[in-house]
Amino acid sequence: MRIYKADILKHDLPGRQFRLEASTQPGIPLTAAQAKEAEAIDLLKTKAMLHAQKKCKHLYMGTVSFSEAVDLPRKRIQFWTTAIHRRKGCKVSVNLWKRQKKKAKVDVPTHDMTDEDLEAQLRLARRDYRTAKKEHEQHRDTFLDSVDKKVWDWL
């Protein structure tokens, strides 16, 4: 979103769109200049979206559609994998640890868990991910329906 927003603001697309809408009248077709401006705005928005998609972090999820129901188990898998790596002695940044724990919504203290407990939590997270993945299209539809109208208008 940050890259997309920067590209949009760099070309002043909200201002240009506002001025274009202010210069038009309902029921009257667009002039050639207005149509050309509308096409230019659309082209720049498309380029900004493609640029943001290219620069953003990619989640290699196969053909699983993104939704909150699928994302939370995936984040839990990442956290428990990081916890196991940390327990084995690998260096894990404290900020990374805090960030992943917060995103995964894990509230249990991990310092007194055994290695078997960590592995069991990882297996549980993987099982939750597999069950969520089976209905990923339905979860995606529900997720898209829950997106605020203001966000859709902004995109």
Q: What is the pLDDT of residues 19-43, one digit of tens each?
A: 999 998 888 898 999 999 999 999 9
Terminal alpha carbon distance of the chain:
10
In this model, does residue 152 exceed pLDDT 70?
no
Predicted TM-score (pTM) of this structure: 0.58
The whole-number pLDDT of residue 4 equals 85
Of residues 145 and 62, more confidence is placed in 145
Mapping DSSP onto H, E and C, the string for the chain reads CHHHHHHHHHCCHHHHHHHHHHHCCCCCCCCHHHHHHHHHHHHHHHHHHHHHHHHCCCCCCCCCCCCHHHHHHHHHHHHHHHHHHHHCCCCCCHHHHHHHHHHHCCCCCCCCCCHHHHHHHHHHHHHHHHHHHHCHHHHHHHHHHHCCHHHHHHC
Q: Which whole number is the average pLDDT over 51-72?
A: 76
Q: Which whole number is the average pLDDT over 129-151?
A: 82
Round the average pLDDT of the chain to a whole number and report it.
87
Quick one: pLDDT band at residue 140, thresholds 50, 70, 90? confident
CA atoms of 124 and 118, how far apart (whole Å): 10
In this model, does residue 149 exceed pLDDT 80?
no
In this model, does residue 58 exceed pLDDT 70?
no
Q: What percent of the chain has pLDDT over 90?
A: 44
Q: Which whole number is the average pLDDT over 67-84?
A: 90
